[in-house]
Structure 1
Amino acid sequence: MTALKSTQLTFANYIRDPRQFPAPAAIPAERLEVYRELFFNNVRGFLDNAFPVLQSLYCPEAWLALQQQFFAQYRCHSPYFLHIAEQFVSFLQDYALRPADPVFLAELAHYEWAELYVGTKKCEQPALTLAPDKLADSPLWLSELAMLAAYQYPVQNISKDFQPNVAGAYQYFLIFRDYADEVQFVSINQASLLLLNALSEQPGQTLAALTSALAEHLAPLTPAQLHAAALPLLQQFAKQGAIVMR
């Protein structure tokens, strides 16, 4: 390791966690403190803005401690605001809860990030509006501005006044940005989740192909019954922009 690389590593380690790592000898302490405050306060500001509901559930000291642990332990690979929020969600997947943390921490963080992600994502390919009356015979795509999610806590209702302590059955959601650029969270059942997930994994299928494949997993429902149930649902999603054609 070169002297420069060694100095950079020492500097980075100290910036992340000055309690665990020594300060670089060549840099005055007051300058190091300025650097650390700049780096940490940027990350802290990103997290405050991305997770307002989650922040509201903590006392300031506990929220700060969680932010500091993320800053010290997680190796972010991008400085962009949206990427830092996503990496915070990843950090929480393996995070050991402390007494100050709500049991739904990881799920609520994902829920808040999903709204941010869908609301700000740029569509790489232009989507064409799908006429709902043509849907039954058209190749279908799930919009690039849509995603599927499942939560065991009622994250859509969590607030300072409502904080559940026990996980329940999974609730499924289609999250998408509609034609008015508003983010929509639509509760769906397991059959609808399977249908939309199949479309996400194999885009360009027709409704007949989708329902025929799903019938194997949803017996005793027949493809015709699934088709009849799915058609009005997908027509509604097409009107809103969650289902598209290209």
Structure 2
Amino acid sequence: MPERPSLSQADAQSNVQAAPGFMQIQQAFTAHLRDPQQQPPPAGIEDRRLQIYRELIFNNVASLLEQGFPVLYQCLGRERWRALIRGFLIAHRATTPLFPELGQELLAYLSTAGALRPEDPPFVLELAHYEWVETALIFSEAEAGPALADSNGDLLDGVPVVSPLAWNLSYRFAVHRISADFQPHAPDPEPTHLVVYRTRQERIEFLKINAVTQRLLVLLREQSHRSGRDLLNSIALELQHPRPSQLIEAGRSLLEDLRERQILLGTRRQ
């Protein structure tokens, strides 16, 4: 005679059998919270109670993202911001449960077709990326301590080390200038190059740089075995500079300035 299931076994079997129905209720509930206008709620739930959840979910997400993207919020205004958040809740499926990474999820959503409307400013995606970088650097676990480089090394004859907490960025719009009072309608003729970085004092700073400095920082990362002098010589050749020695001397001052700002940590230890 087969053994009679214990109470716990019977409960487990009951839960398995009931799971599909329960999951359907959950899915209907969350679909309704994301899109109350198009998705009906599960039957039998008082609308007053549903309203509490609808407002809680929407307002929490909107408030958290507003803190991470304050300039974007100011540029869009309350109504367009709320429309953006509603679209985000409806269409996007986050891959992380961590609140500090919610901004990255919004950025991913803004990169998809249909996220932005024709009347939205053309700089929205770039401005969002620029504002997200600040949060990403604040929470970055990358190390930029003295073990990575000799802070007093010769930046011309040694191999300069770029801080992992310094991000070299290029934008079509001057995102560092955008505000509620300055909203360009078209990209600038030339790209805007910025370095956004975190200092040892845990401050987030930015530096606007020219195309030559941007190229130098690219080479410092891509060819991290070469000395500062070698890289500056390469740039002089690329520019067909008539007096490479002048460019190298100017480059010495530039490298020192980047070290002073903590964009460069020093030189690679032997």
What TM-score, normalized by structure 1, do the two folds share? 0.84
Q: In structure 2, which of residues 124, 141, 156 is the aligned counterpart of residue 105 of structure 1?
A: 124
Offset of 1:67 from its aligned partner?
Answer: 1.4
Deviations 1:34-92 (A, max 9, x none): 33322222211111111112211233222211111112111112233331112212222
- AA matched with 1:170: P
Distance 2:146 2:31 in 1: 45
Aligned to 2:9: none
What TM-score, normalized by structure 2, do the two folds share? 0.77
Aligned to 1:198: 219
Matches within 5 A, 1:139-178: 139-168=159-188, 169-178=190-199
Aligned to 1:136: 156
- AA matched with 1:195: L
User: Once structures 1 and 2 are overlaid, which stretch shifts more, 136-145 or 118-127?
Assistant: 118-127
CA RMSD in angstroms comes to 2.8
Deviations 1:2-32 (A, max 9, x none): 3343333323222211222232236444333
How many pairs are equivalent? Answer: 245
Matches within 5 A, 1:1-246: 2-25=20-43, 27-94=45-112, 96=114, 97-98=116-117, 100-124=119-143, 126-128=145-147, 130-131=150-151, 134-168=154-188, 169-203=190-224, 205-211=226-232, 218-221=238-241, 227-245=248-266
- AA matched with 1:194: R
1:58 match: secondary structure: helix
Where structure 2 has 5 or more consecutive residues not aligned to the other structure, the ranges are 1-18
Distance 1:209 1:5 in 2: 63
Where structure 1 has 5 or more consecutive residues not aligned to the other structure, the ranges are none
Offset of 1:99 from its aligned partner?
Answer: 5.1
